Structure 1
Amino acid sequence: MPRFDIALFPCRTDNFGAIVHAPETGTTIAVDAPEEGPIVRALEERGWRLTHILTTHRHADHVEANAALKARYGATIYGPARERDQIPGLDHAVSGGDVLDVSGVRVEVIDTPGHTIGHVSYYMPDVVALFAADTLFSLGCGRLFEGTPAMMWDSLQRLRALPDETMLYCGHEYTATNARCAVSIDPGNLALQERVKEVETLRVEHRATLPVPLGQEKRTNPFLRADDPDLMEAMGMAGADPVEVFAAMRKKRDTY
C-alpha cells in the first residue's frame, strides 16, 4: 500500500486548505483552492510541488486561487461538469461515478448536490480519505443554497455509505457551532456529548477539529441520522419521512 501525506491548514476566514502528497511519485493534489498564499506556503514548507487541483464546486472561496496556482505550477484542474463554465482553469470535467487515475492516485467522484447543484465530493480509497467540502461537515452539513432537502439527504446517504475508517475532511471549520446545534437536536446521544467536549478542547487550544473518522460522524452527526428512529423521536417526529426530519434539522441549524 502506497504511503500518502496530507496537509490540512486554514485559509481565508474559516476555510480549510487540503493537500494530498504521494512521496513515491511526487503527485501533489490540492482539494479546492481557497487562497493562494496559504497553499503556496504549505507546499514550500514541505518541499512539495503542486500537480493537480480537484475542485468540488464553483463558489469563490473554493476556486479563488485556481488561476494563480495553475500559472505558478502548471497544475491540472478537475471539477464538476455541471459547473464547468464557472470553474477557473478547468481542464477535465467530472461527474459522479467517475473513477480517476490522478497520476497514480485513485479518486472516486461522488455527486453530492444540495449546497450547489453541481457539487461533487472526492473519495480516495487508498488514502482512506473523503473530501466533502461543503456537503458534509463534522456534526453538520452544508447550507442549501441551490438544492432541496431531498437532494441533500440523498447526497449525505451516499457519503454515509463509505467505510467507517474513512477520514473526513471538510471545507470549513464550523464544528463548534455545529456542535451546539447538534446537542440541541439530539441531547441524549452520549457519543455526541463526548465529541462536543473534544471539540471544545480543540478550539480552546486553537487546533483544528478535523479530520474525523466517518464512523464517528455516523454516530454523532444528526444530519447523517435523519432516518434513525431514536433521532426522529428526539425531534418529536417519530415515523416521519426522513426528508422531513432532515429539513427540520437544517432549518434549525440556519438559526445558529
Structure 2
Amino acid sequence: MRLQPIPAFEDNYIWTLTAGDGASLIVDPGDAAPVLAAADAGLRPAAILLTHHHADHIGGVPALLARWPDLPVHAPADPRIPLATHRIGDGDRVETGPWAFDVIAVPGHTRSHVAFHGHGLLFSGDTLFSLGCGRMFEGTPAQMLASLDRLAALPPATQVCCGHEYTRSNAVFARVVEPDNAALQRRQQEIIAMRDADRPTLPVTLQDELACNPFLRLEAPGIRASIARQAGDASLDRVARFAALRQWKDGFRA
C-alpha cells in the first residue's frame, strides 16, 4: 500500500493510504479541496477515518460525501461528528475494503479522540505529534499521559502519522528540555533539512519518538532534571511531571 500525506490549511496533513487497485483510505479530511484536487489527478476515495471532532479534521467530509455519497465514514461516538456512517470506540476493529485498523481510545486532546493502528501505521490525529503531543482541551493530564503510554507501547517500527506538521517547532522545545540527547540533535538536523526542502517530516517511527520525544521520555534523568528546575519542585510524580511539561510547552516561545 502507498502512504501519502496531503497538505491542508497552514500545517494539517490529510493522510491517504492507497491499495494496489487504486482505492484510497482518507484520514481526517479537514478540507475537501486538496482531496478533490487529488481525485482529479487519479485518487479514488473508498473510505474515511476520523480521529476527533475538530473542524480542521472533519470539515471536508460533507463535500466529499456530496461527490461520493456511499463513502463509509468511521468516527468516534460523538454527536459533534454528525456525518459518521459507522461509530467506533476503544477495542473496535475497522475493516473496510482491504484495510483493517484497531481503534485505540486516546482521550486528552478531546474526550472522544481515537487513534487507528494497522498495517504498521498509527494515525494519531492530535494526540501524539513528532517530538510533541496535543494540547489538553477536554482531558486531564492523567488521561493524556495514559493515552500516550498506550501509543508508546505499540511496536517500535510503527510509522507515526500525525495530523500536523509541527515537528520543527517541537524540536526547538525538545532541545531546551533535553539538550544533551544526541539522537534528538540528529533528528533536529534531519528535520531542518526536510523542511528547507519542503518535505514532510512524517511519518516517523515510534522508535525514533521514544528516543527523542520528551513527552514519551518522562523518566529520562535529563528531562526529570529540566522539569524539576522549571517547576521548582523535584518531588513531582509522573503525572505531575507530565502536566508541568505540557504547561511549559503551552507557554514556550522559541
Bin for the TM-score computed over the shorter chain: over 0.9
TM-score, normalised to structure 1, is: 0.92
Identity %: 42
The answer on 1:117 being equivalent to 2:116 is no
**One-letter amino acid matched to 1:40:** L
Equivalent positions of 1:121-200 (< 5 A) are 121-124=115-118, 126=119, 128-200=120-192
Q: Secondary structure at the match of 2:112?
A: coil
Looking at structure 2, the residues matched to 174 and 206 of structure 1 have their Cα atoms a distance apart, in angstroms, of: 13
Looking at structure 1, the residues matched to 208 and 172 of structure 2 have their Cα atoms a distance apart, in angstroms, of: 17
The answer on 1:6 being equivalent to 2:3 is yes
- Give CA deviations for 1:163-206 in whole Å, capped at 9, x if unaligned: 11111111111111111111111111110111111111112222
**One-letter amino acid matched to 2:84:** L
Q: Secondary structure at the match of 1:86?
A: coil
The worse-fitting range, judged by mean Cα deviation, of 99-108 and 112-121 is: 99-108
What stretches of structure 2 of length at least 5 have no aligned partner?
none
- Give CA deviations for 1:52-106 in whole Å, capped at 9, x if unaligned: 110100001011011111121231101011x1x1113111110011112112311
The answer on 1:97 being equivalent to 2:97 is no
Looking at structure 1, the residues matched to 135 and 84 of structure 2 have their Cα atoms a distance apart, in angstroms, of: 25
Q: Once superposed, which parts of structure 1, at least 4 consecutive aligned residues long, lie more than 2 Å away?
A: 42-45, 227-231, 233-240
The answer on 1:220 being equivalent to 2:208 is no
What stretches of structure 1 of length at least 5 have no aligned partner?
none
- Give CA deviations for 1:130-171 in whole Å, capped at 9, x if unaligned: 010100000000011111111100000010011111111111
Residue 252 of structure 1: how far off its partner (Å)? 1.1
Looking at structure 2, the residues matched to 232 and 90 of structure 1 have their Cα atoms a distance apart, in angstroms, of: 42
Equivalent positions of 1:5-24 (< 5 A) are 5-24=2-21
**One-letter amino acid matched to 2:244:** A
TM-score, normalised to structure 2, is: 0.93
Looking at structure 1, the residues matched to 247 and 227 of structure 2 have their Cα atoms a distance apart, in angstroms, of: 13
The answer on 1:39 being equivalent to 2:35 is yes
Looking at structure 2, the residues matched to 229 and 95 of structure 1 have their Cα atoms a distance apart, in angstroms, of: 36
Q: Secondary structure at the match of 2:45?
A: coil
Aligned length, in residue pairs: 247
